[in-house]
Structure 1
C-alpha cells in the first residue's frame, strides 16, 4: 500500500504534469489564449478537487443514512461516478462559458473534450507512476 507521502507526491505530480500538457495543448486545440486556458485549467482542477472532497463526504453520509453502510456495489459505483461527473459539469460549464465569453453549448463541448483528455491522461500517468515509483513488496508475516 502507498504511504501518505507517496499519495501527496502522486497528487501533486498528477496535477502539475496535467496542467503542463493541458494549458498549451488546449490553447491550440480550442484557439484560446494560453493565459485563459491556464486560468480554466487551474480553476477546474481546484474546483474538481474541492467537489471530489465534498461530494464523496456527502455521498458516504447519504449511503450510511439510507443503507446503513458505505459499501458500494458495482451499480452504486456507476451511479456515484455519474453523479460526480454531472455535478462537476454543472459547476464548471457556466464558469467556463462566462470566463471565455462563449455559449453554454461550446463550454459543454469543451468540457467533454477535457474529460476525454483526463481519462486518457489519468490512465497513462498512473501506468508511468507505478513503473517509476513501484509499491514496495509487503514484508512477510512471521508464522
Structure 2
C-alpha cells in the first residue's frame, strides 16, 4: 500500500471509532443532546483527521531518517504524545465554544479525553500495523515483525 493511501486509511478508521466513542460520552458528561454532541464529535474528528494526516507524514519523515528502525514502545509513546498533545491545543477552543463552557472547563474535559485517546492512539496504531504491516519508514530490511 502506498504511504499516502496508508495514512488516509489509518486516519479514517481512527476517526470513525473516535466519533462512536466521543459523541455519547460528551452527551452524558455535559447533559447535551446526542445530536449536538455527535455534531461536536464530527467537528473534533474533522480537525483530528487533518492533524492525523499531517502529523503522520511528519512523523514518518522523521522516522525514515532514524538509524534505528522499527517501532519500539518508546517510539510509539513519542508518536502518541506528539499526536495527542498537538490535538489538545487545537481542540480546547472548539470544545469551549461549542459546549458554551470556559476554556479551563474545556481543557479539563479534553484532558479526560486525552487519557483515553493517548492509550487508544498507541493501541490503534499497533493494531493497524499488525493488520496492514509497518510502513516502509519503519521496516527493518524487510522484517515486518512488530
TMscore range, shorter length: 0.5 to 0.7
Paired position in structure 2 for 1:13: 13
Aligned length: 119
1:1-32 per-residue CA deviation (whole Å, 9 max, x = no partner) reads x5333332222111111211222233234433
- 8 Å Cα contact 1:18/1:121 also seen in 2: no
1:42 aligns with 2:37: no
Partners in 1 of 2:6 and 2:90 — Cα distance?
Answer: 30
Paired position in structure 2 for 1:99: 98
Paired position in structure 2 for 1:133: 132
Change over 3 Å in CA distance of 1:95–1:134 after alignment to 2:
closer
Q: Which structure has the larger Rg?
A: 1
Which has the higher mean CA deviation after the structures are superposed, 123-132 or 107-116? 123-132
The runs of 4+ residues in structure 1 deviating greater than 6 Å are: none
Q: Unaligned 5+ residue runs, structure 2?
A: 59-64, 67-77
Partners in 2 of 1:88 and 1:122 — Cα distance?
Answer: 12
Partners in 1 of 2:88 and 2:14 — Cα distance?
Answer: 21
Paired position in structure 1 for 2:118: 119
1:44-101 per-residue CA deviation (whole Å, 9 max, x = no partner) reads 22223445649x98xxxxxxxxxxxxx79xxxx89x949x83x654543232122111
Partners in 1 of 2:21 and 2:109 — Cα distance?
Answer: 16
Q: 1:27-38 counterparts in 2 under 5 A?
A: 27-38=27-38
- 8 Å Cα contact 1:24/1:34 also seen in 2: yes
What do you get for the CA RMSD once the two structures are aligned? 3.9
What's the TM-score once normalised by structure 1's chain length? Answer: 0.60
